[in-house]
Amino acid sequence: MRNWFLIFIALVLAFLVVYRSWSLPITHDEASTWFNYRHLNVWSCLSNAACWGTANNHWLNTLLLQWSANVFGDMPWALRLPNVLAGLGYMVCALFISTRYTDSKSLQCAGFLLLCGHTYLLDFFSLARGYGLMASGVIWGIYCMLRYVEKYELRWLVLSSSALTLGILGNFTGLLPWVAIGMGWSIRVVMMRKYNLLFRHGLVWLLNAILLFVLLNYPIRLLSKSGEFGWGSKNVWQMASDLVINLLYGERIFGENSSLFILIGFSALSLAIFYFALQKKNLSSRDSVILLALFVVLNLFVIMLNQYVTGSLAPIGRKTIYLIPFIFGFFVLGLQFIHNRKAGFFTGLIISVILLYRIPVTAHTTYCREWYTDSDYHALFESILPRGSASDSIHLSSSWIFNPSLRFYRQTIPLPIAGLPYQRPLVIDASMDYYYVESSDTLDMKANGFVLDKRIGFFFLFRNKQYIK
């Protein structure tokens, strides 16, 4: 019998992703990608250093963005369409996992929401960045590997490595889970004494590794030399704490030590699930729980190993979302140990209610956590653009953080705005009509003939004293 409530939840989350891809203002990094790579020959990036001036070029995202824009135009929703589809693919895979590894309908809903019910994760399926593509590739890689260990069918291994490869091309951070799952596969094969598979099926990993080396050796060398991998966490604990705060969308529900309390709770729950998995020797999917636990541990090990070998920092912020399907996938598989119907019903109900409550509280139509600075452009345009204004009638400048998005809107709508020089630090020009700035750039405005017109969100709109609306 179909779980109609689960289908309803999936449709609601899918609608939220689609709607926010249309309503969220263009962000700094999206606009920068559009300016720098919209008409670049992506295939030239195998040997073209101009492609890799920064790590902002998420290779697969750039290619799909170009294709989508060629068909539908340069509207923000069109640029974001590939990630929207990746988000829908992520949800389909979450449905497969939650329905395959849990029996109770309420637990299936809880399992799906554990994998998908995080506004921070959903943000990236509504934006034209490679992180959503990476997350989608990772969850499919996990699911296909879980299917592989059931009967050791080669097709599932090929599908798993292929999905992980697409995730890597979405964002190079995806190399970390690729290594972790590859190590987990080899450990599993050895533990099951299927040594012949190390050679026969290991060829899949070998060919995959050769392909990735050919594709990624050049860009990673360039990005490493330019210090583009210098942004991150000092250690795994800091990375985990940051991920928890992001999943809470910045809310510290247990005070300043919220991340500590939640990490302790997660750790205790994980140990309990692992203990039950070891005890339930007759459970058919027991091995899947243990394998996913191994994947989680290996991910942490690979991150620390990468720090030690390359000197890189651990992932932070948006780079950590690939961990979500590992961590919460492990919890989903742990739900199967609840055999009592009443306990299963109430556990599923409680988890579902908590996560469903969190989504409307945190999900905004113009705000996303990683690029909150780009939330108020529509309010800005309403403030500075009189109806019927002539082309280039308004001279505007801004703090550097707003510049790419403002230039994107000027060029694609288009808007009657002149100016918009990229300046970092800001140099105040008395000929400008308006300045839209963050707080650090407000200090000399008054001395240069500008008065505060209004505060828009977290930021400030200054108007030239000589300019009359």
The percent of residues above 70 in pLDDT, for the chain, comes to 97
The structure tokens listed for 286 are 């027991």
DSSP 256: G
Q: Is the pLDDT of residue 246 over 90?
A: yes
Same domain flag for 347 and 440: no
- Report d(CA 56, CA 286) in Å as an integer: 41
Mean pLDDT of 21-29: 96
* Assigned token pair, 406: 């403002």
pLDDT of residue 230: 77
Q: For residue 201, what are the contacts with CB-CB under 8 A and spacing of at least 6?
A: 152, 154, 157, 189
Q: Domain end: 306, 338, 362, which one? A: 362
Examine the domain organization and report whether 409 and 348 are in the same domain.
no
Does residue 287 sit in the same domain as residue 151? yes
Assess if residue 340 is contained within a domain: yes
Is the residue at 370 inside a domain? no
377 pLDDT band (50/70/90 cuts)? very high
Query: Residue 253 has what pLDDT?
Result: 80
Q: Same domain for 295 and 382?
A: no
Q: Could you tell me how far CA 196 lies from the centroid of its own chain?
A: 38
Give the pLDDT of residue 75.
96
- The CA–CA distances, whole Å, from 462 to 212, 226, 385, 396 equal 50, 36, 14, 10
Quote the number of domains for the chain: 2
Which tens digit of pLDDT belongs to each residue from 323-361? 999 999 999 998 877 766 677 777 777 888 888 888 887
| Residue 41 pLDDT | 92
Do 318 and 431 lie in a common domain? no
Q: Residue 306 pLDDT more than 70?
A: yes
Cis, peptide link before residue 404, omega less than 30° from 0: no
Question: pLDDT for 104-119, tens place per residue?
Answer: 888 899 899 999 999 9
- From its phi and psi, is residue 171 left (phi > 0), alpha (psi between -120 and 50) or beta? beta
3-state secondary structure of 213: helix
> Which of 313, 338, 362 is the C-terminal boundary of a domain?
362
Q: Are residues 292 and 165 in the same domain?
A: yes
Measured at the alpha carbon of residue 392, what is the angle toward residues 391 and 395, in degrees to the nearest 5? 150
- Assigned domain for 351 exists: yes
Query: Contact, 168 vs 162, CB < 8 A?
Result: no
Pair 239, 296 in one domain: yes
Nearest residue to 109 via CA among 230, 221, 3:
3
The gap from C-alpha 429 to its chain's centroid, in whole angstroms, comes to 38
Mean predicted lDDT score pLDDT of the chain = 91
- Four-residue CA torsion sign, 185, 190, 191, 194: positive
Range of the structural domain that residue 433 is part of: 376-464
**Contact between residue 453 and residue 468 where contact means Cβ atoms under 8 Å apart:** no
Examine the domain organization and report whether 319 and 391 are in the same domain: no
Q: Which pLDDT score, from 0 to 100, does residue 107 have?
A: 87
pTM beyond cutoff 0.75: yes
- Domain assignment present for 346: yes
Residue 391, pLDDT > 80, answer no
172 DSSP assignment: G
Which pLDDT belongs to residue 38?
A: 93
pLDDT at 438 over 60: yes
The conformation of residue 313, written as its DSSP 8-state character, comes to P
73 and 119 assigned to the same domain: yes
Residue 425 binned pLDDT confidence (cut-offs 50, 70, 90): very high
pLDDT band per the 50, 70, 90 thresholds, residue 389: low
Residues 305 and 449 in one domain: no
Where does a domain end: 362, 387, 417?
A: 362
Residues 335 and 416 in one domain: no
In a domain? residue 8 = yes
Q: Is 196 a domain residue?
A: yes
Domain membership of residue 440 (yes or no) is yes
Name the pLDDT band for 436 (thresholds 50, 70, 90). Answer: very high
Is 143 in a helix, a strand, or coil?
helix
The answer to whether position 369 is within a domain reads no
Which single residue is written with the structure tokens 């989608």? 136
CA 27 from centroid of its chain's CA atoms:
14
Per-residue pLDDT of 195-223, as tens digits, reads: 999 999 999 999 999 999 999 999 999 98
Name the more confident of 104 and 12.
Answer: 12
Confidence of residue 172 (pLDDT cuts 50, 70, 90): very high
DSSP collapsed to 3 states, 74-112: CCHHHHHHHHHHHHHHHHHHHHHHHHHHCCCHHHHHHHH
The reported pLDDT for the residue numbered 55 is 83
Number of Cβ within a 10 Å radius of residue 440: 9
Domain co-membership, 213 together with 267: yes
